[in-house]
Amino acid sequence: MNKINRERRIIFLLAFTFTLLGLLMVYEASSIYAWKTKHDYGYFFKKQLIFFLLSIPIFVGMLSIDLESIKKYAFCLLLFNIFLLVLVLVLGKKVGGARRWLSIGGINLQPSELLKVTYLVWSVDYLNRKGALIRNLKEGIFPLFLVTGIVFLLILLEPDLGTPLFWILWLYLMLLIFKAKKRHLLSFLLLGVVLAGVLIKVHPYRFHRIVAYLNPWKDPKGSGFQLIQSQIAYGRGGVLGVGLGESRQKLLFLPAAHTDFIFSIIAEEFGFVGSSLILAMFFVFIFKIFKLGFFIHQTFRRNFCFGIGLILALEILINVGVSCGLFPTKGLPLPFVSYGGTSLVVHYALLGLLFNASRELGNSVARGV
């Protein structure tokens, strides 16, 4: 048990460190934009701070709740999330041509972010209950894909292609963990690729994003602008960085500097050395989460920890990869760092659930590795 507590302390300290870094960098990256749009340099910083304070009781609540009760009502929670996804299509706030947010009392809620809790709990519980049946197409795979397809369809209608592709990759990795048949996995992967190709073909702006990814200088003032500005930030940072507060790209050159591209500002101000150190901390963070999972004997709790670890690992990989040009542009936050109230609250909920799942309760005994 001492090993589990040590790993949990390290994970919590790293998450808290990322949050403090995020608050600092949200202010750094957004202050000029906040003054221009809200006449308040600290507008986004203060909102992020409020959401951090709201995250604390959420974390404690998830840590204290009975995990078996969450499993029991997992499908009901997912149905409620589906209802919110339907609601956002009807009453959602339209930003940049997409309806992804519900405005409730002045607070913007992104229902697709909540899937990191609701879909996670339901899918891991489903896979765990099915056990060996997950190798059966009709009884194991098909019901899972049916529910997943409904969720994805609603998100695609927002429109948002990146989130379904994220979950397809996550589910593929989880099915590997649960030892699904290789031919089913291959068919699933091919289906995802074909679906992505069709949706890119139907919506030209997605094709332009792919073109910008392959050659941003083909349209430097249009679809390639954001990636070019991000790469300029990396270039200006050099080895040691330009220094805290000295970023040039935050002066309205780099769009979404405090959200999806916040790591570009980190790379510019702290350079290769500083950004590499932060990436190393993220690596330790993810490694400790998976190590924590291996300590857990009970199957559901162990795989639940792995599911959380995969969500966070993919988010970090994709966010950093997009900012430096390794992947096409996808609006995905850097966990605990990027600006976004729903994202921060959900990540602290995941942290609470992770610690909940790793507690020694009843037959959920710990084992050394």
Q: How far lies 212's CA from each of 207, 233, 250, 318, in Å?
A: 9, 17, 21, 17
Q: How many CB atoms lie within 10 A of CB 197?
A: 10
Question: For 81-114, what is each residue's pLDDT tens digit?
Answer: 999 999 999 888 777 667 888 887 777 888 999 9
pLDDT over threshold 90, residue 206? no
What was the pLDDT predicted at 362?
40
HSE, CB side, 13 Å, CA atoms: give it for residue 283. Answer: 6
- Do the beta carbons of residue 212 and residue 167 sit within 8 Å? no
Model pTM score:
0.91
Question: For 119-162, what is each residue's pLDDT tens digit?
Answer: 999 999 999 998 888 888 888 888 999 999 999 999 988 888 88
Examine residue 216 and say whether the peptide bond preceding it is cis (omega within 30 degrees of 0): no
* Every domain of the chain and the residues it spans: 2-357
CA 321 to mean position of chain CA atoms: 13
Give the residue-averaged pLDDT of 22-28: 95
Of the pLDDT bands very low, low, confident and very high (cuts 50, 70, 90), residue 198 is confident
| Lowest pLDDT segment from 53-57, 184-188, 308-312 | 184-188
What was the pLDDT predicted at 271?
95
Please tell me the distance from the alpha carbon of residue 70 to that of residue 356, in angstroms, as a whole number: 11
Question: For 255-273, what is each residue's pLDDT tens digit?
Answer: 889 999 999 999 999 999 9
